[in-house]
Structure 1
Amino acid sequence: MKTQVWIAAAAVIAIAAGYLLLKKEDKSSLDVAAGAPLVAVKVPQLTGDALKGEALFNDNCASCHGKNAAGRDGNGPPLIHKIYEPNHHADGAFYLAAMRGVRAHHWTFGDMPPVEGMGQEQVASIVTYVRTLQRENGIF
């Protein structure tokens, strides 16, 4: 029983430490003009589904998540960020966010509403685009 309590306490401490680190990173990255990109993004040559996803992203997501998913100060978080790496936010998280919306949990931008008229095929292309950008920027 004592072992389980220590494990639970260690888990709570680890989660709190991670939260504090992310909050610190958030504040330092927000020292930019309103609406400005929050991170620098290297963009590779896009082809196929990634190119299609870029157009869909620009039409449906960039108003909050910024051009090239770099985030927008005061509007939405960057998707080119270690928080959104596949091991933490699998592709399914993007589908759920687009189709159902998502409650704010990593950033202070507020809840994300569902994206009207978004189907699974469109989200698949957007995910391909975002993952392509992430890989180019060292997020695996």
Structure 2
Amino acid sequence: MSTKEVVPVRPDEDDDPPSLVEPPTWAAGEEVPPGVATTEPLTRSRTVTRRRVPYPGTPEGAFFHYTPEEASWFLPWSALQLKRKAYAREIPFNEGGARVTYTGRDICEISLMTAVRPLAETVQQRAS
């Protein structure tokens, strides 16, 4: 059994504005890695579709509402972990329409919450 390296095919950078993120696609005939959602039908009535989303740090992304699946592209947790953390009120989120969503500002704030500062900065803060 041979192992093939899966390489995402990216569109040309000139085609789309840099503030849009498009999920990776794979060339025809290549296997999609396990755990990657595709646009193949899951059942007869339900299919997975992906929309293009702006980066959270851009003006377009500041107030854009990301699903947990979309937010997981930018954060170190899976969509399920993000939902669980939101229900436990551990991270900022929005609950409009009885669905958990994250704005670009929420994603940036969560990212800052997980940042680890250098030891030198921590020592200086304690000394002051």
In proportion to residue count, which structure has more strand?
2
Q: Kindly indicate whether structure 1 or structure 2 has the higher relative contact order, using CA contacts under 8 Å at least 6 residues apart.
A: 1
TM-score (norm 1): 0.23
In proportion to residue count, which structure has more helix?
1
TM-score (norm 2): 0.24
